[in-house]
Amino acid sequence: MDTLTVNEHTTHSADTAHDMNPPRWTVSAIEALFDLPFNDLLFRAQQVHRENFDANAVQLSTLLSIKTGGCAEDCGYCPQAARYHTGVENQETLSVDAVIAAAQAAREQGATRFCMGAAWRGPKQRDLDKVIAMVKAVRGLGMETCATLGMLKAGQAEQLREAGLDYYNHNIDTAADFYDEVITTREYSDRIDTLAKVRDAGLHVCCGGIVGMGETRTARATLIAQLANMEPYPESVPINNLVQVPGTPLHGTDALDPLEFVRTIACARITMPRAMVRLSAGRQEMGDAVQALCFLAGANSIFYGEKLLTTGNPDVENDRALFSRLGLKPMNPAA
């Protein structure tokens, strides 16, 4: 999987949204999208969105932390890193029964995909055995399954696929040339290696990034290019707005302009026309108006529930009220 190869002769017409092979996007081409007048950018993104999806349907996912805290990594945004003092307590892996109960509750609230996240650098086999049991149980409830467990060793992605896992999440986080400013305990190439294992095993890829970490617009355009130029690009693309947690190195970073975040969503939609673009971390801080603009810009997936791993998320009733005001509906899982 080569995420950085770029064809300088990129095509930009809306017709390319129908091509079986997505166009190759240069960083400069994506910067040109970012530079469009706001209304023009959203109009174009909405056109691409409508060509590929129901414009008023949003896929609902719930994310559960199955193992919290104590992570050996030094990701500058993460409150679960053991080296930072953020008030997040190290907790043991949840039982299968606890995960089933959480998944049942999520399903009753309307979620169709259940994501399980663990604060590991990568799972040991005994850890993976527990996750496999969880995946099988959640699939038994009729829900799509997703897991984010860190870096995978040879053969682990195949075990997850055989258990019935639908998606594996492994974000590249940011532009390759900004990566070392955020994380030093693993290389950008390590993430690409895990993504290759996931794709080769036949799993769907969930891969996105985080903006608002002090990066430039060029870095945001590069992040989108790296995602869009994957072959194929990810089926799910979570776009996170940094949630600043006291005790993490990125706490105190200048907040990203909310309209710049909307532009990032729009660029993701235009460059990855058939992906589920997920409005992910940071929704609680956005407010309803900015979320509405993100849906207009092509976001069609959210994490649904009161908590996103260890940080807050708009609760179910608030989301239902917002959906009602906007005329949005939950997406049929078969869509």
10 within a domain of the structure (yes/no): no
**Has residue 271 got a pLDDT over 90?**
yes
What would the pLDDT profile of 285-326 be if each residue is shown by its tens digit?
Answer: 888 999 999 999 999 999 876 544 444 445 778 888 899 999
51 within a domain of the structure (yes/no): yes
193 within a domain of the structure (yes/no): yes
16 within a domain of the structure (yes/no): no
6 within a domain of the structure (yes/no): no
What would the pLDDT profile of 61-86 be if each residue is shown by its tens digit?
Answer: 888 988 876 666 767 677 766 566 56
> Which residues have a catalytic role annotated?
71, 75, 78, 115, 146, 206, 278
What is the pLDDT at residue 87? Answer: 61
Residue 254 pLDDT grade (very low, low, confident, very high; cuts 50, 70, 90): confident
58 within a domain of the structure (yes/no): yes
Please report, rounded to a whole number, the percentage of residues in the chain having pLDDT higher than 90.
57
3 within a domain of the structure (yes/no): no
Mapping DSSP onto H, E and C, the string for 245-314 reads: CCCCCCCCCCCCCHHHHHHHHHHHHHHCCCCEEEECCCHHHHCHHHHHHHHHCCCCEEECCCEECCEECC
Here the CATH number for the domain that contains residue 36 is 3.20.20.70
pTM score of the predicted model: 0.85
12 within a domain of the structure (yes/no): no
* Domain count along the chain: 1
Domain encompassing residue 248: 22-330
